Copies of this chain bind each other. A is one copy, B any other.
Amino acid sequence: MLALTILGNNSAVPAFDRHPTSQVITHNGNNYLIDCGEGTQIQLLRYKVKRSKISHIFISHLHGDHYFGLIGLLNSLSLLGHTQPITLFAPSPLKEIIDIQLKVSDTTLNFELHFRPIESAATLVETASIRINCFPTDHRIPCFGFSFEEKRIPRKLLPEKAKAAGIPAAYYERLVMGEDYQTKSGEIISVDSVTEPTPPGPKYAYCADTRYNESILEHIKGFDLIYHESTYLHALAERAQERFHSTSIQAATLAEKAGVKKLLLGHFSSKYASLEEFQKEARTVFPNTELALEGLCYPIR
């Protein structure tokens, strides 16, 4: 199972006890950190997300409200004796920013930091159990969304049927990979009779900062959950367009067109003290919309 924890749901300037963007995907004991606004390390502490389990960090773009907390987090992890390598995916100039800050403080991190620049749509991580892709969004500077897909074993074993058919347990691994079984007497036992197809694993996408742009659709089609920014209410659609941001209605329209199951709204402008109206507006277009609230954990399927 994937689970998403929101650490910060506000845009540029912190306000109303809302913090700049950061969220974490938990999967199989790994924490995948997405964006790292100022104060993220404190939010991780507050919401008891284990910093030591962070294996990968993904920075969508180099506006400060998405990365100013990164250097502090890396520094603290090092001081706390973290030793596991961390892989950092981000637009390339971030490397120089980190390097210069480590240099002036005469700091060597206690762990290996593998920097991987992102430049275009690509698969960033692929293991037996997860695939993480990035895709470009439509923002003032280069910006990327990230999608997380849990990979399920191709077929689900029906152990009682396999046992009744006399298939040895050692062969089960090949069954779930889709192979038929041949008995000693030459009889073929179809894989279909002892396994069943596994539904695809849960899928989540973080759509980062963006104008309304349907080029994103292909990367999030049919997803279980997407997080889409909604910096403004729809009355400010013009301002959203000028500033390369989206409105509640636009986020909901994209979710609707992509046929996703659920939409989370975030990246709210500090001009809004209350957020209720965002949910109300979006639900007129896409009913299964919720606000991304700090500290809440959203299981993905």
Question: What is the interface of chain A, defined by CB distance below 8 A to chain B?
Answer: 12-15, 19-20, 38-39, 41-42, 45, 62-65, 68-69, 71-72, 75-76, 79-80, 91, 93-94, 96-97, 100-101, 104-107, 140-141
Contact = CB atoms under 8 A, between A and B. Distances in A.
6 smallest beta-carbon distances between A and B, as pairs? A38-B72, A62-B104, A93-B104, A13-B76, A68-B72, A64-B75
Given A38-B39, A68-B72, A141-B106, A45 B101 contact: no
B97 A141 contact: no
A63 B105 contact: yes
A14 B76 contact: yes
Given A39-B39, A75-B64, A100-B96, A14 B45 contact: yes
Nearest to A141: B106
B68 A64 contact: no
Contacts of A69: 38
Given A104-B62, A141-B105, A14 B38 contact: no
A89 to B, nearest CB: 16
A42 B62 contact: no
13 contacts: A12-B75, A13-B79, A13-B80, A20-B72, A38-B39, A38-B72, A64-B75, A64-B105, A68-B72, A91-B104, A93-B100, A100-B100, A106-B140
A62 B100 CA distance: 11
Contact of A14 (B13, B14, B41, B68): B41
A72 B8 CA distance: 15
A215 to B, nearest CB: 22
Contacts of A106: 140-141
Given A42-B14, A79-B13, A106-B141, A71 B72 contact: no
Nearest to A13: B76
Given A13-B80, A14-B45, A104-B141, 4 more contacts: A38-B72, A64-B72, A93-B104, A105-B141
B45 A42 contact: no
A15 B45 contact: yes
Nearest to A45: B14
Contacts of A20: 72
A72 B107 CA distance: 22
Nearest to A77: B13
Contacts of A14: 41-42, 45, 76
A232 to B, nearest CB: 15
B75 A71 contact: no
Contacts of A75: 12, 64-65, 68
